[in-house]
Structure 1
Amino acid sequence: MNYFENMKKRFFFIFFVFIVLVPLCSAFPQKKKLIIKLKENVPREVLENFARRNPESGNYSISKICSQFNVRNSQRIFADELKNFEKKNISQFGFDRIFIADADEKNFNSAVFLLSENEYVEYAEENFIYKLENKNISSPVTNDPYYDFQYYLNITSFNSAWNVSKGDSAVIIGVIDSGLDFLHPDLKFSYKINYGEYGNGKENNGIDDDNDGFIDNWRGWNFVDNNNNPIDDNKNSHGTAVTGIINAGFNNGIGIASCAPDCKVLVLKCFDFNGIGDEYNVSRAVLYGIAAGVKIFNFSFGDYVYSKLLKDVIRFAYYSGITMVCSAGNDGSNRLHYPSAYDEVISVAASDELDRKATFSSYGETVDIYAPGYRILTTSVTGKGDNMFNNDYFYVNGTSFSAPVVTSASALLLAENPVLTNEEIRGILVSMTDYLSGQNSWNNLYASGRINSFKSVVNNMNPSVARIYNPYQDFFAVGNNIEFVVSAASTFFSSYSLFYGTGENPSAFTPLLYNQQNQIISDTVFKWNISNLPDTSYTLRLAVNANNGRTIEHRQVIFKDNSTPAFTDYQTGEMINKDNYSCLVLFGTDKKTLGRIYYKRKNVNEPYSFFYADNGNNNIGYVSYDHFGIFDESQLFPLTFYEYYIEAEAQNGKKIVLNDTSFYFRTKEQINNYGYLQKNYYLPPSQVCKKVTDVNNNNNPDVFINLSKNNLRLEVYEFSSGVFNKISNDNWGEYIIARDIADVNGNNKLDLLASKGRNGIIFEQNSAGELPLTKIWSDENNDNFWSSGFADTDGDNLLELLGFGKNGLRILKSAGNNFIDAALLPYSGLNSEPNSQNTLIGDFNGNGKTETVFTDISFRGNSNFGTAYLSVYEYNNGYNRIFLDSVPMLMKADNLTAGDID
């Protein structure tokens, strides 16, 4: 009997039982009753105490839990029924170790959780009452009060999938992110506890009790600070938000529901307050997670560069049987994004509440599946959420929050069928999707469609595999032939075909193999002669045709490239890096390369040292079109000349060197940070509004700031008697960024100019001396006014309103109760956009006329770098550009300033 026939028979049995049982009954928990199955190796004294109805007796860990949570009156659940069976049969299945007990309703869930995790307990669960009914499958009732705000649970059919599975605590999900808020009331049972480092003070005893190489790692690990405290300090609550989607508390009477509530998350903190993390720590976290029993990883991060190190680690995880799910990116493009583009991961794009592609979502040939990623209600770090959700929950957008939806569905699959491989999980998910609005097949824009968790879970015995093993993503062909090794198999198999298309987003595909009738598992099926094909990128497409009319596909981008790379950009400059000056080198290439920078002391007979570009070191480099290198002068001799040259290596192994006699710099002494007296007052970490004012007319200065560690909530601090005191009370909410404050319309009331995203808002005082709380103007919801400030740009002694629009700098004038457009100062580059809210206003050439200075930037193709344009407009009976200059690569207007420097 072949593999697929076996799977069909296994599925028939499960399907038959499912059809017979599910329509007849549904279940709901009965309070105060607890079912406990003890493990086979339970101490005899514990077993006897349970049999004597005294589970709280004794000095064992399970006895202490029963005593703490008042678990009592235990009795064998099958005391009478077991008399009819032989003892050896009873013992084999452990029926003599199953007890039912009473427990207080208060903290009942805590008792269930701690008993479930206890060393002597095989499982602990609520007792359920069943009732007869004549309905088809219905959604379980959840008492989570914010469930109705979670549209994504219904549109993806988790509400039906929960009738089949809510997961299993044995399915460990490794969340590599910014950590977790362990104090959040909806997440206190979400994370995996390492009992080798837990209990009796082992959490912080400074000893590696379980000999795994990590000390006191009882609830995950912090790879950023290399300690046992993986708490989420990210300014956007990123890791806490991701985990809430996966397994926040379910039916616990608070907060939200979650997708896979019975699974456990292993907390692997690799990203800091600003959401920055490196691939070295991510790679460490992957290996740590595999050793700790992770079955599925959630990667809600990525970039357009990649390192060979992380690629190797991901391949290791894949061949270790681990399923990896990754966000596809948020720039709305089809650029290759990593690690989501790797063959070994499931790449997830974002849909919205109307089942459309979310406008911000990346897409393309390497995306596998969509999941909702717009207005996703989830957990925040406590106190940092939305007011309407008691500050503990908030809405989030992004593919970062689509990925955990698919991660959760993968977990439900694995809970129902633990023998599924990572490829089979992917195959089931992509073959059971619902098409998005306007979709009728797998394509470049919509991939396989939007996930349907219920159809996936009930088809857990119907695996499909569509996979090109050779070549692989980003393969560089340097010979004349490529051998194809593929798997093409499905319970619903009809045939398979193999195609190629020219470019990364081809408009048409050419068949290499068509309608092949035999299923294939990891076998060579074709040798492709590419000798007559031009050097470029090619998209490969394997399509398994199912007898239900769907296709299961795997797509990848490879390259034929025998040419040497070429440099496209180069720039150098000086920057301040902490307490040192540093030489900054920027360079670009016409294809993806690995950048190295070689250096030595000038005119000294010594070998060159090198480091990888892009924040790399001597061991880790990143592959990209664009590179930067920073010489850390704190590690170099001071007041010494150094020379350097640049090397770029393409994926085909060919290299190019850029060198010039001008490639040298002189190190400086460390910046003197003495001579300044630190005051004994301070503001919390924040973005500070550029204007200080006395908003309440009490002769004390007031500062508007946005709190960095609290979702940029806007507050006002007043300086009085040597200290800053907060005089506001979260009056504006989060992400309202203060830009300027003045009386712009001449009514003797202060006006606060702010922005939320790229939309402008003005708040005004109701009367003098009050906080400006009344919204008098806004240009919201169209991203066409990124507030800059108030200024008199035309010399009429009246303030104008400045903000960056889609096509240029907008200047608006006050007109009573409204503001009208007075001028648009166009951007300079092709498809340019602003990259800062900063403008300079003044008479910079001393001719008595006012100039307005700003920058815009135009990107080139796939490059992260572009051309920055500096424009100077002067008002002389109209706004006229009097100066224009451009700089290759990247310059931000935040760095613009003016002053008398000589």
Structure 2
Amino acid sequence: MRVLPPIIAALALVGLVVIPYRHHQNAEQEMREPHPRVTSVEASIPRINYIEQVKDIRRDLEKKSHIQTLHHNPRDRSHYVEHEVVVRFSPRPEQKKIDELVASLDAKIKRDFEQFLIIKSKSLTTKQLMKKLAEHPDSVFAEPNYLLLPNRKPNDTYYTEYQWNLPLIGMEQSWDVSEGSSDVIVAVVDTGVDLKHPEFAGKLVEGYNVLTDNNKPEDDNGHGTHVSGVIAAKTNNADGIAGMSWNSKLMPIKAIGADGSGSAVDIAQGIYWATDHGADVINLSVGNYTSSAALKEACRYAFEKNVILVAASGNDATNQPSYPAAYDEVLAVAAVDHRKERADFSNFGDYVDVAAPGVDIPSTYIYSDYASLSGTSMACPHVAALASLVRSVHPDMKNRDVMELIRQSATDLGAPGHDQLYGYGMINVNQTLRQAKPAKPARAETKQTTVGGLLNKFFMRLRFGFE
């Protein structure tokens, strides 16, 4: 395994800094009592403080003059790009009319996604652009260009020692039911994937880079590679880690850059592309506290195409709804630790559907490496992988039925029934798959076609009469 630079090695030894949930003071969380093996100084897999890195991304964004901040309350905030607007027309005007409109706004078309446009003005603010475009008779919506941030017994080398998360949710019994199907594709709309990582050899289908408009979704951040490994890293190959689905395919979609931030429009375009190219499940380990019309339309489009959408609830220990997780078409995932207790950082609220392991999760990382990360981003792919396993044993099950099965088969945690911290509870993969597996059809009586069988049938008819 590659030796990480000193700064990463140092991060591996630093405890995560999180915002505690103030109404749950007595809960001893994973951040205060780390997993003993994964966080040991002798561990082979480095522990990276990704939650603090995301906070750094936010701070860096807020220093940039062209980035505006929306404050939802004293602590939670969203960001958008000033002088830019996302607009959708229906019907779409002729290109000549669009060009004339853009010129009148002292603007240019920054990106054209067919479904919507990103328009950037030299002189008008985002609010001024929204007002003018809202007056257009064919405008369906005009909104800011919002930024989203990541919410981050096989024989594989690291499985027994480090992957506590998989036995916790019943994976070892579940692999007896299904190891996944190569016909099922899970799209990961994120920072891309390490295309040369040995854990993904033979596991990838064609992907897409939204940022550069090509089919090279190479990960230059690490987040997407980590998420992808949880879902479907090569398993039982006597090396590295084990993915939850041994046979499912991964579709990497790069919609987030090296700095860890991406726009709602880029995420939306990734959802459209994945849906149109055969994805059965889409993992969205990203979030923002302001709903985007473009993102919501993309989620609705995928849902209506029978795709299962899974998203992270967020890492700010707040009940502020995060999108896309809070959309009705999406399964929202909170995070728990190795003691099945809510992680300090995990967002909560009525929109949370289920919880999954999200603290000190070992998985793949860029440069053909491995790392341990924490976040609802890491909890989310556990649920996406479960959805892919359900589709493997019951390919005809509708997406809404898969989502409901995952909710109802979860292990109840916290207050009885659905609650704000855990939703319906922690996913129980074994229980879900056994409930999902179609009942075997009754064995049909075989017709006797031998000579003895025909003679027996003849004499029976002689006895009882021919019909």
Q: Which residue does the alignment assign to 1:229? A: 216
Q: Which residue does the alignment assign to 1:410? A: 387
Give the structure with the larger strand fraction.
Answer: 1
Q: Which residue does the alignment assign to 1:169? A: 182
Which residues of 2 match residues 149-160 of structure 1 at below 5 A? 149-160=162-173
> How many angstroms apart in 1 are the aligned matches of 2:238 and 2:300?
42
Q: Is the 8 A contact 2:284 2:309 kept in 1?
A: yes
Structure of greater relative contact order (alpha carbons < 8 Å, 6+ residues apart): 2
Which of residues 252, 273, 276 is equivalent to 1:288? 273
The structure 1 segments of at least 4 consecutive aligned residues displaced by more than 4 Å after TM superposition are: none
> How many angstroms apart in 1 are the aligned matches of 2:210 and 2:420?
36
Shift of 1:394: 1.0
Q: Which residue does the alignment assign to 2:105? A: none
> How many angstroms apart in 2 are the aligned matches of 1:227 and 1:417?
33
What residue identity is the alignment partner of 2:394?
A: N
Q: Which residue does the alignment assign to 2:407? A: 430
Cα offsets for 1:345-390 (capped at 9, x unmatched): 000000001000001000110010000000100001126xxxxxxx
- Give me the TM-score of the superposition, normalised by structure 1: 0.31
Shift of 1:320: 1.1
User: Structure 2 vs 1, CA of residues 185 and 329 (structure 1 numbering), >3 Å: closer, same or farther?
Assistant: same
> How many angstroms apart in 2 are the aligned matches of 1:150 and 1:325?
22
> How many angstroms apart in 1 are the aligned matches of 2:260 and 2:326?
21
What residue identity is the alignment partner of 2:288?
A: D
What residue identity is the alignment partner of 2:183?
A: A
Matched, 1:401 2:388: no
276-285 vs 401-410, greater mean Cα deviation: 276-285
Shift of 1:184: 1.1
Q: Which residue does the alignment assign to 1:14? A: none
Q: Which residue does the alignment assign to 1:251? A: 236
Shift of 1:461: 4.9
> How many angstroms apart in 2 are the aligned matches of 1:272 and 1:423?
32
Cα offsets for 1:96-119 (capped at 9, x unmatched): xxxxxxxxxxxxxxxxxxxxxxxx
SS in 1 for 2:419: coil
> How many angstroms apart in 2 are the aligned matches of 1:399 and 1:223?
23
Shift of 1:338: 0.4
Shift of 1:316: 1.3
Give unpaired runs (5+ residues) of structure 1: 1-140, 193-218, 384-391, 464-902
SS in 2 for 1:266: strand
SS in 1 for 2:200: coil
Matched, 1:142 2:154: yes
Cα offsets for 1:103-144 (capped at 9, x unmatched): xxxxxxxxxxxxxxxxxxxxxxxxxxxxxxxxxxxxxx4210
> How many angstroms apart in 1 are the aligned matches of 2:227 and 2:269?
20
Which of residues 428, 453, 458 is equivalent to 1:452? 428
Which residues of 2 match residues 516-665 of structure 1 at below 5 A? none
> How many angstroms apart in 1 are the aligned matches of 2:383 and 2:189?
15
Matched, 1:382 2:367: yes
Shift of 1:314: 0.9
What percent of counterpart residues are identical? 34
Q: Which residue does the alignment assign to 1:753? A: none
> How many angstroms apart in 2 are the aligned matches of 1:442 and 1:221?
37
- Give me the TM-score of the superposition, normalised by structure 2: 0.60
Shift of 1:317: 1.0
> How many angstroms apart in 1 are the aligned matches of 2:438 and 2:178?
17
What residue identity is the alignment partner of 1:232?
A: D
Q: Is the 8 A contact 2:207 2:253 kept in 1?
A: yes
Q: Is the 8 A contact 1:168 1:415 kept in 2?
A: yes
Q: Which residue does the alignment assign to 2:50? A: none
Q: Which residue does the alignment assign to 1:364? A: 349
> How many angstroms apart in 1 are the aligned matches of 2:395 and 2:223?
29
Q: Is the 8 A contact 2:334 2:421 kept in 1?
A: no
> How many angstroms apart in 1 are the aligned matches of 2:420 and 2:334?
12
Matched, 1:441 2:428: no
Matched, 1:266 2:242: no
Shift of 1:462: 8.0
Q: Is the 8 A contact 1:224 1:277 kept in 2?
A: no
What residue identity is the alignment partner of 1:428?
A: L
SS in 2 for 1:175: strand
Q: Which residue does the alignment assign to 2:201? A: 188
SS in 2 for 1:459: helix
What residue identity is the alignment partner of 1:276?
A: S
What residue identity is the alignment partner of 2:352?
A: V
What residue identity is the alignment partner of 2:275?
A: I
User: Structure 2 vs 1, CA of residues 462 and 443 (structure 1 numbering), >3 Å: closer, same or farther?
Assistant: farther
Q: Which residue does the alignment assign to 2:298? A: 313
> How many angstroms apart in 1 are the aligned matches of 2:182 and 2:220?
26
SS in 2 for 1:418: coil
What residue identity is the alignment partner of 2:426?
A: R
> How many angstroms apart in 1 are the aligned matches of 2:422 and 2:243?
25
Q: Is the 8 A contact 1:428 1:462 kept in 2?
A: no
Cα offsets for 1:768-800 (capped at 9, x unmatched): xxxxxxxxxxxxxxxxxxxxxxxxxxxxxxxxx
Between Structure 1 and Structure 2, how many residues are aligned? 286
Q: Is the 8 A contact 2:393 2:437 kept in 1?
A: no
Q: Is the 8 A contact 1:332 1:362 kept in 2?
A: yes
> How many angstroms apart in 1 are the aligned matches of 2:338 and 2:225?
22
> How many angstroms apart in 2 are the aligned matches of 1:301 and 1:462?
33
> How many angstroms apart in 2 are the aligned matches of 1:183 and 1:319?
34
Give the structure with the larger helix fraction.
Answer: 2
> How many angstroms apart in 2 are the aligned matches of 1:279 and 1:399?
18
SS in 2 for 1:313: helix
Matched, 1:337 2:325: no
> How many angstroms apart in 2 are the aligned matches of 1:442 and 1:366?
10
SS in 2 for 1:402: helix
> How many angstroms apart in 1 are the aligned matches of 2:362 and 2:325?
24
Task: Give the alignment's Cα RMSD to 1 decimal.
Answer: 1.4
> How many angstroms apart in 2 are the aligned matches of 1:223 and 1:446?
33
Shift of 1:330: 0.4
